[in-house]
Structure formats: C-alpha cells, structure tokens
Structure 1
Amino acid sequence: MDERIRRHAEVLVDHCIDAGADDGVEVRAPTAAEDLVVALYEALGRRGARPTTVWRNPRATRAYAREMDPDDFRPKGHRVAALAETDAVILIKGARNAAATSDVGGDTGAAASRAKEPLLRERLETRWVITQHPTPADAQRADLSTPAWRSLVYDAVDRDWAAVRERQAKIADRLAAADELRLVVGDETDLRLDVAGMGAYNDAGRENMPGGEVATVPAVDGVEGTIRFDHPLRRGGREVDGIRLDFADGRVVDHAAERGEAVLTDLLDTDAGARRVGELGIGTNREIGEVTGNVLFDEKAAGTVHLALGDAVGECVPDDRTANESAVHADLVCDASEDARIDLDGETVYRDGSFLIDV
C-alpha cells in the first residue's frame, strides 16, 4: 500500500475526528476507496475505536433511483437511529465512473436529497469529516494523470494544520467583525451580503480534508446582487456551466446557465432553503495549484471564492440568529484571481487572489 494512504488515514483519525477508545465511527465510502478504508481501520484499531463501514455503490444507487417514484422516497429510520448512536463519521469521495448517476432524473435526485435530510442533521451532530480518495476516474475528470492527481491530493492533505489555523485566525476575526461583505469580480459579479452579527469559520482541516478556507454566512434575507461562476457545478454526475444567479432579499430570483440549466433549476427547487445562501467562503490552500473540477479541492484553492446554496454553516450562526435550512449544501466556485476584490464594511481586504490583511 502507498504509504501516503496510511498518512492520509492518520490525519483523518488523529487530527480530523480525534478518535478515542470506544468511539463509534462510521466510515462511509465508495468501493473504489477500499485501500483508504483498510488504512483507516488500522489507524482506528490503534486508537481502540469501533468502526463500521457503510459502502456506497453508485451502480446500485442508480438502479434504485431509476425505478423509484419520486413521491415514494422516505427517510431511512434505521440509518437515522444508527447515526444517533455514532460519535464520528468519515465520508470518503472517489469514483470509478464520475458520471455513474447522470441519467437519474432531476426530480428524483431532489426527492432523494429531501429524504436524506434527517441523516444530514444527525451527521452534523457528530464529529465528521469529508475527504477524497484519488481514483483514475477523478483524475480523468481533473484532466490529470492518475499519479499527478494522487500527488495533488496527498500534498493538499499532508500539511501542518495547526499552523494553517493560526495563520488564518486574523482573517477569520476580521470576517466575524464585519457588517457587510461585498464581492466584485469583473463586470458580471457584484454581490452584497449582510453578515452583521454572524461568526466566521476558520477551516484548518477538521470537517473538510483538505481544508484551507475562511467563511461566513449572511442573514437569511441578506443577499443582494448578481454573481457569475466560472467553474462548473456537478450534481449527480451531471455538469452545469456558466451559472448566473440574481439575488433579492436573500433569495435567488433569477438564474441562468450556459449548459445544464435544468439541473440548476432542480437544485433550486429542492426546497425553500435551496434558493438562499448558506455560506460565502474564500480559498486559502496554495498547495492546490489548479482548479480540477472537484469542488472539495476547488473551493479551497487560493484565488477562488465559493458561495453555497442551501444549508448554513452552523459554526457561523449564533444561537440568537436564524440559520438557513435545506436538504442541500451546494458549493459554486468563482475565480477571484484577477480583476476581483472583497470589501468588508467598505475596506478592500482582498484583491486578485490575495488577502491584504497582514497575516
């Protein structure tokens, strides 16, 4: 086994979930990630934890979804009950075929997302992390050789995360103190977010591995303006390019896409919260040197900004504020490396991919 896989597993177990003796740990993985699961079991065994694996099989998911009536989707009570007894969850991405579920209807996918919302709520109550196992299919989607994709993944993961947290702390503090955030990119993006009283998220590789971002959340009705996304959104194996969203009173009131607009419409129609913003994040991870079409990495890449439609990042929402709730949390990525700026309360703190705050 590649020793980098064992190092990846150690980072997940020791840093991300800090597994302890007798912790119940759910490992949710595709069959393509078997090597990482084996390495995780080694690391969890050294900690005395109690792992269970839930294997994901896109072929089976496709077969089931294509036969289901969207009205027949229901929450899986036994899975919700199991998660309620779980201390930590490790979710692994990795595909044999990146488009395996691309011919599942959008209304079916939205119904499946709604049925999974109780699972989402239970998982968010655990110590959890999402990560990526590098596979040939994902390398192909990134337009990289498999060895190059593996190196990109492992270089982005194996970092001094304590130092990352310390370096990003000043930026997060400035975000948390702001009342208004304005994002301007070229002639097509001018977006204002009311972030008064909201907190900030300093992502140093806890819930996401790799980490490397700072983020905040707007008030539910506090987004105005237009944003265009340069990089594609992938949902259920399908791709949406050239997305434009218009906001008023915090809600998407108009949208368009150059390709795959029906997929975007289905996402927005998932539930009432899907048309509102759950996060505005700024990538800081300079070990991710290129955009690859994998949102877990692209949203962390230095020089990108991402906006998430749907469920709010709970760490940013104080108890006395309303958090947007949705069955989806879909990150859309915007290139902010050129002709771009972020203003906080009228002060430019970020320009063309770099923070102007002394860090």
Structure 2
Amino acid sequence: MKNFETLLNEYAKLCVKVGINIQPNQPLVINAPIEGIEFVRLLAKNAYELGASEVHVNWNDEVLTKLKYENAPMEVFENFPKWYADSLEEYAKKGAGFLSISAQDPELLKDIDPKKIATNNKSSSIALKEWRKYTMNDINPWCVVSIPTKSWAKRVFPDVREDEAVEKLWTAIFNATRMNFEDPVKAWEEHIANIKSKVDYLNKKELKSLHYTSSNGTDLMVELPKGHIWAGGGAIDSKKVFFAPNMPTEEVYTMPLKTGVNGVVYSTKPLNYGGNLIDEFKLTFKDGKVVDYDAKIGKEVLTDLFDIDEGAKYLGEVALVPFDSPISQSNIVFLNTLFDENASCHFAFGKAYPTNIKDGENMNDEELEAHGVNNSLTHVDFMVGSSDMSIVGETKDGEKIEIFKEGNWAF
C-alpha cells in the first residue's frame, strides 16, 4: 500500500503530466493557496523534470482576502489590477500552461458586504476577459485540481477534529482522482477513453434537443444549436497537445442554443460562488433567459451573479454526469464545484465554450452570437442531477433517444 508521501508525489506528477501535459520549454503558471506550499513545490519539481522552462506561482491567502473585504474601500474592488491581468496574458502569449488549485472555505465571505463581492467579480471578469480567451478556446492547456485546506476540510467534515478532517478530505480527493489505482496515469487513460465513447455516440446522433424531467419538479426543454460538439475527458490545445482541464472529471458536455431553454429546473447541490453558498434554488427559463428564480439560501448572491451582464441570465453549458459516478457514490458534498459538478448533471450560467460548436474557436463574438452561442463575462456551473433524472434526446430526424434513465447513462 502506498504511503501518503508517495501518493502526494504521484498526484503532483499526474497534474502536470496528464492534466497540463507540460511540454519541453513550456512555462507553467500555478494559482495556489499558501497552505499548499509543499504540494506546489512537488508540482514545480515534477514540471521541471518533464522539461518546463519556468514555474511561476500566484499565491492567495484566505486571511488576507477576508481582511481586504472587511477593510478596503469599494473603489479597490472596482479596479482590478491591470498588471495582474497583463502578466497572465503575457504568459499565455508565451504558450504557458495554467494550473489552478481550487481550495477555499465555502463560507469565507459569508458576512461580507455582497456588493463588494459582486463588484470584484465583475471588475475581475472584465479585466481577465482577454486572458480567458486563451483558456476557453483551448489555445493554451489549463487544468483545475484541488488539495485540502483546514477551513474547507472542516466545512466538509464538521464533526471531526481538524487534522482528521484534512486527512479524510485527502482520501476523498485521492479516490476521486483515481490515485487509489496502482498506475494512476494508466487509470486516467482508460477513464478518458470511456468518456470519449459517450462523446462519440452523442456527436453521431446530432441531437436537436434534450428534455430533462425529475420528481423534484424539474421539467426543462433544452435546444441544441446546429453544429454543436460534445466533449469530455480532455481537450486539444492550439499545438495539438492533449490535456485534461479538470481532475477529477466525469462529465460529457456541450452548449445549449442561447434562446432555446424553456421550463423549470431545481438545483440539487449547494453552489459555492464567490465565498458564499447558494442552495435549494429554482429557476424558470423562457426563450433561454432566467425570468424567475428563488433560493432558500443565498438568493441575493444569485441576484448579484445575474447582474454581472445580460449573458449571465442565459446558459452556456449542458453537462451530463451519471449519478453513480465515484464522486457521487462517496456521498460527500464537497461544497466545491470542481467535485460537486462531477457528481451531478449540471448547467452553467454565462459564457459558452466556443470549442463546443463547429469552427467556434475561429469565430468572433458577433459570429458566435449569430450561431446561438451565449457570451458573458462569467461562467458558473450549478448542479441539477438526481437519482431519478430522465433525459430524452430528439434527433434532427425526430427520433427520440433515451440518454439518461434513473440518473444514469441509458446506453
């Protein structure tokens, strides 16, 4: 049985070799919490061993973040640092890979003025718009992974000691990322091949729409644009190099027709957005737009999300995830979208990935809009899958195909 140090090093190697798939003389930019310094050093060590030319780290700290929100004036949040956005663009132009460690206390900003949070979310989205084109168009490889932090672990496992909570969260992360296999890299290759088989099936069917129903009241019709492309497991960057954007990943996804979403959908897991939780929410769509909504927890936060821009009220992603995925079967609510979205079918508010429509990566904003592709400064996933969810697809020829039955793949 592998000890913790061995698992940790293998995990770091997996992140840079399979996740980013770092190439010789390629820079790597890492965004990480300061609690993860030992793991980041392992990432850097493995990246350099694989030929990386440089490893640059942007650190973040929850204590400093909260102090800033508690004390800084509104104008600070209105003006996102241009130098930071420029530095990311500069690295992107050099062909860098971007590795982000998603690990935050889901209630870090619970008692902070929501207007400060909303203002910062909007200003950062505007400032980082050009850089995000490099990742959302898969020009550069990018990957989101996670490690436990003390505050996050205690939110997930509140009934045990802090050190035990961290240990339990490490175990859950290792299991979710297939580190419990003898050869994790080979396990990932097989997993990605399985996802690809679903992708290939759906792309061959050329579906026109998806009809979601569930006993919780969800009844939603989602039209798909002509030329849409299903994807999952991994992507190909502009240099024809394969990478895995999310670790873990269980989803097969595409984009909806911007104006083609109608009906009602209920969330099935909490959404951690900007350091606050949104939970038990209901959305009503008409011609693609959210026209009514409510939430038992965090409705004001949801309102601020929708106020970022007009596109935030429309969907940009349709993702299918079986209810019996390993993450779902763990029965852990991670309060972290990276994990929870891979335990449940989900949608995303906001910008669609241009790569999910034929030749989309070569279209400008106006051309994408003409093809029914949503554009926005934001992209936020939310979970809707349930154990009894049914999804029925209809092809352009009118054939009805059962895609999901009782929460799982029907084919």
> In the alignment, does 2:229 pair up with 1:199?
yes
Per-residue CA distance 1:23-51 (angstroms, 9 max, x = gap): 01101111121122011011012112121
Kept in 2, the 8 Å contact 1:179–1:197? The answer is: no
Shift of 1:168: 2.2
Structure 1 Cα separation of the partners of residues 82 and 316 of structure 2: 23
- Say if 2:212 and 2:391, in contact at 8 Å, map to a contact too: yes
- Report the equivalent of 1:330: 380
Total equivalences in the alignment: 353
Q: Where in structure 2 are the equivalents of 1:39-188 lying within 5 Å? A: 39-49=42-52, 50-65=54-69, 66-69=72-75, 70-73=77-80, 75-76=82-83, 77-79=85-87, 80-95=89-104, 97-102=105-110, 103-106=112-115, 107-112=118-123, 113-124=125-136, 125-143=139-157, 145-158=165-178, 159=184, 160-176=187-203, 177-188=206-217
Q: CA deviation at 1:88?
A: 0.5
Aligned CA distance change for structure 1 residues 187 and 216 (closer, same or farther; 3 Å): same
Q: Is the 8 A contact 2:107 2:277 kept in 1?
A: no
TM-superposed deviation, 1:293:
2.0
> CA offset at residue 84 of structure 1?
2.8
Q: Per-residue CA shift, 1:303-344, capped at 9, x if unaligned?
A: x21111011133312226353222211111123212x20111
1:37 matched to 2:40? The reply is yes
Gaps of 5+ in 2: 159-164, 179-183, 235-242, 361-370, 395-399
Structure 1 residue aligned with 2:238: none
- Residue identity over aligned pairs, in percent, reads 24
Q: Measure the CA separation in 2 of the matches of 1:324 and 1:59.
A: 36
Which amino acid counterpart does residue 341 of structure 2 have in structure 1?
E
RMSD over aligned Cα atoms = 2.2
SS at match of 1:258: strand
Consecutive unaligned residues of structure 1, counting only runs of 5 or more, are none
Evaluate the alpha carbon distance shift between residue 61 and residue 334 of structure 1 in structure 2; reply closer, same or farther with a 3 A threshold.
same
- 2:106–2:335 CA contact under 8 A, matched in 1: no
Task: Single out whichever of 159-168 and 221-230 deviates more from structure 2.
Answer: 159-168
Distance 1:163 1:27 in 2: 27
- Relative to structure 1, the CA distance from residue 60 to residue 82 in structure 2 (aligned partners, 3 Å threshold; closer, same or farther) is farther
Name the amino acid aligned to 2:401: E
In structure 1, distance between residues paired with 2:131 and 2:65: 17
| 3-state SS, counterpart of residue 342 of structure 2 | coil
Q: Look up the equivalent residue of 1:167 and give its one-letter code.
A: N
**Counterpart-to-counterpart distance in 1, 2:18 and 2:302:** 35
TM-score (norm 2): 0.80
**So what's the TM-score if we normalise by structure 1?**
0.91
